[in-house]
Structure 1
Amino acid sequence: MNILILHRIPYQKINYHLGIDHDRHNVTYIGTAKQFANLPEGLRCARLERPGLKDTASEVLAILSDLKLHFDRVISLSEYELLDAAKVREALGVPGASIDEVMAVRDKLIMKHRAAAVGLRVPQALPLAEFLAQGGAPWPGRTVIKPVDGASSEDVQVFDDPASLAGALESRQAGIPRLDQDLHANAERFEVETFITGPLLHLDGLVHNGKVVALVGSRYIGTCLDYAKGQPLGSVQFKLDAAQEQWVQRAIDAISLRSGSFHLEVIDDNGSGDWVFLEIANRVGGADVVDTFEMATGIYLPAQELAILCGEQPDLPGSLRKTTFFGWFLFPGHHLPDGFVELDGHQSFCKSSELLRHSVLPRDTPLPRNITYQAFEVPFSGVVGAESTTALQAWMEALFAAVTLHPRLQEEVREVPA
């Protein structure tokens, strides 16, 4: 089989060789010179370098048109290039998720509309252009504005009510650079929705022929929006009951997701058990979701996703749930001033039995300037495990309350044990 991979995610985050036999298949990676830097030297594959100056799909198609190559599969595991891969497949007549199918896992308005159509509860929402045209929204209270295809809570803001949002947009003080600079030119890429209070959950799994074949439920400690603003974030796994598993399958059916990994976010309305569909992505979750999923189930999601996308049967263990529950945490640094960081309050936690591994940013490594969920890029991260969700959550909440981050200049040299 001839397989084309749009290479964007660092190789070590996917380990393509675990899901695709590079000796049996002819695998071609296409990406920029920077993206190729992390491809293993001895990997049997072809490499096509693209400039990285235009959108991925147009560059890929331009290169392929000159080379007259044939491919049986076109694969991307990056959320940001799923649509590009669909466009390339359509142009080349290659099987796989279509543009319409990808839009259902990229456009938050489309996915909510489809979820609502099968009876799942969703937040009230409308396109920003419609919000502007009608001068508000038909709901009271806290209101969220976000990109329809965004990730990592970038360009997401919460306002007290629709009127406050409308005023901020009109005065160009919404706190979203694209909208504050040119509201009407960028409005079509944003949506507005009502804010629903309650614990935020993420459901991660694997779909084969439209059926969920592996699933793990987790509860966020903190929120992705607060993480974007500088607060720590974590999650702990919990046991799903049969009704909750059926709810997830209904969501998958609503989106018509046929294959691959998924990361589904749900709001538990005021902790009542009444789930509200928030959004879904056809990819693995960020941070240490892949590792903690494997710890709980024995399944390495990227490898099994690649096998499915190549038309093969996933290799799944008979029993998917172990007795220990796992979780992860991240302390961000993008919100701090340029420079370096001093970490304090973490020392005793690093000696606890719950902490399975951790990473502390080296003292001579500058803080990240962008929002990142990469464990090795943030000031402090870790993976934890315990016999109950309650124990994990209590441990993590205590950690978040104890640890402090202090900006420092490079010349400061106070040794703090990791």
Structure 2
Amino acid sequence: MKILILHQAPFKKMRYDHVIDHQQHQVTYIGLAKHLSDLPEALRYQKIVLPPAAEKNLVSEVLARVSPSDDYSSLLALSEYGILEACHIRAELGLAGPSYEQIEVVRDKVKMKQRIAARGTLRYPRFIDAPEQVIQGGWRGKTISKPRDGASSQGITLHESFAAAVEYVEDKTGWNNYELEEFIDAPLYHFDGVVIAGEVQHLLASRYINSPLKYLAGVPVGSFQVVLNDTFRRFIDEVIAALGIVRGCFHIEAFYDGETCIFLEAANRLGGARIVETHRSRTGVHLPSVEISDYLALPLPRQQPASTHYFGFLLYPAHHSLDAQTLNIPEGILGSPHLVSFQRTGAQADILTYNEDLLPLSLIARAETPHQLQLFLQRCLTEISTH
């Protein structure tokens, strides 16, 4: 098989080689130099380095270097920043894959909420995406403004009122590609798994500590796995059906008030941060391998044993000038049986990122119960300090 891989996410998370025998198949990785730099030298493959212009013109830069005559049989694109573009590339190369319309639903935050609303049984925040909707009055209280196709919380702003949010959009961003959304004051959860032949598999639920919005403001963020109840299962089944997700990994975020889930957003791709690792630690399943195996119709490698422990993580942001050397981790944290691993790095990222290799500190923890895990992670947030 001749496989083209649009390589954007860290190789250590994707581990394409778990499923794809690089000796048996012809594998070509295409991407920016900064992404291709983490490919293992021991593997057999070809690589195509894209110029910096590909940051904004990915489709044209890829198609300038590959064509239908190359006879690729599949194109893999597992990062959020390439899944829409991959639809255009597949179409030009004559390759099978999801349509642009299918993927757009799980990238456009307005279209996905419209699908959720049409379901008729799911709760979601009120929202508007056009100036003519403002005269309808909106709602009272805090309001979020954000890009319709944004990722990693970039471009999101919290406003004290609907009126303030309208003024901000009209003065600063314009309505093109922006929406306003009702702020929901409830705990935020994320749900991660994979859909195979229309069936949800390997589902886990996790509750955020702090939130991606607070992380944007420079506050550490994390999450911890919780018990998967019937409310969560029914909610995810309905969301998957409403959005028409029939295959691939998913990352769905929702508020939970103790009784019902309130949809926030969804993505038909892997969750970021340390989710791949913590999910595998709990279930034994490497989600990228399941997705790659399904797409390429290749055997799934043996998974590691599942654990009875619950797992979680914390990320300390770099975009607010935190320095790894100034973060003090007390001996009580370092010696705790709850601490699985931690990673310091001297790298400094001047952009918002959830990649632990570019953060001053990240850690993974475990406990026998979600409550114990939550308490340990909160202890970390309290005791890990700058000096």
Tell me the TM-score normalized by structure 1: 0.86
Q: Given the superposition, is the C-alpha separation of residues 257 and 344 from structure 1 closer, same or farther in structure 2, using an over 3 Å criterion?
A: same
Give the aligned partner of residue 351 of structure 2: 370
* Aligned amino acid, residue 53 of structure 2: L
**2:128 corresponds to which residue?**
126
Q: How does 1:7-86 map to 2 (within 5 A)?
A: 7-54=7-54, 55-65=57-67, 68-86=69-87
Question: Helix, strand or coil: the match of 2:321?
Answer: coil
Q: Secondary structure at the match of 1:64?
A: coil
Paired with 1:256 and 1:16, the residues of 2 have a C-alpha distance of 26
Q: Return closer, same or farther for 1:285/1:48 CA change in 2, 3 Å cut-off.
A: same
> 1 CA distance for matches of 2:237 and 2:298?
22
Determine whether 1:205 maps to 2:189. no
The CA distance in 1 between the partners of 2:262 and 2:22, in whole Å, is 42
In the TM superposition, what is the alpha-carbon distance from 1:34 to its structure 2 partner? 3.0
SS for the counterpart of 1:68 is helix
Structure-to-structure mapping, 1:3-402, within 5 angstroms: 3-54=3-54, 55-65=57-67, 68-118=69-119, 119-127=121-129, 130-131=130-131, 134=134, 137-170=137-170, 172=171, 180=172, 183-184=173-174, 187-268=175-256, 271-312=257-298, 314=300, 322-336=307-321, 341-344=325-328, 346-361=330-345, 365-402=346-383
Give percent identity, aligned residues only: 35
Q: Distance in 2 between matches of 1:302 and 1:371?
A: 24
Tell me how far apart the structure 1 counterparts of residues 7 and 302 of structure 2 sit (CA, whole Å): 26
- How far apart are the structure 2 equivalents of 1:369 and 1:92? 36
> How many equivalent pairs are there?
384
* Superposed displacement of residue 167, structure 1: 2.9
**Alpha carbons of 1:167 and 1:32: their partners in 2 closer, same or farther (altered >3 Å)?**
closer
Following TM superposition, by how much is the alpha carbon of 1:370 offset from its aligned partner in structure 2, in angstroms? 1.5
Output the amino acid matched with 1:324. H
User: Could you tell me whether the CA contact under 8 Å between 1:202 and 1:218 is conserved in 2?
Assistant: yes
What is the Cα deviation at residue 111 of structure 1?
1.0
Cα distance change on mapping 1:34 and 1:322 into 2, 3 Å: closer
Kindly provide the amino acid, as one letter, of the partner of residue 90 in structure 2. Answer: R
For residues 87 and 366 of structure 1, do their structure 2 counterparts lie closer, same or farther at Cα, with a shift above 3 Å needed? closer
Which structure 2 residue ranges, 5 or more long, are not aligned? none
Counterpart amino acid of 2:251? Answer: H
- Report the CA distance shift for 1:297/1:316 in structure 2 as closer, same or farther (over 3 A): farther
Q: Note the C-alpha offset of 1:345.
A: 5.3
Deviates more, 1:90-99 or 1:44-53: 44-53
Judge conservation of contact 1:131–1:137 (CA < 8 Å) in 2: no
Kindly state the Cα deviation for residue 136 of structure 1 after the two structures are TM-superposed: 7.3
**What 5-or-longer segments of structure 1 have no aligned partner?**
173-179, 407-418
CA distance in 1, matches of 2:128, 2:326: 43
Map Cα deviations across residues 296-355 of structure 1 (whole Å, 9 max, x no partner).
1110111111111113465686x9963211111112231137x77511353321111110
Q: CA deviation digits over 1:57-114, x for unaligned, max 9?
A: 111122223x821122111011010011111112222111110111011111111111
Contact 1:4 1:29 in 2 (8 A): yes
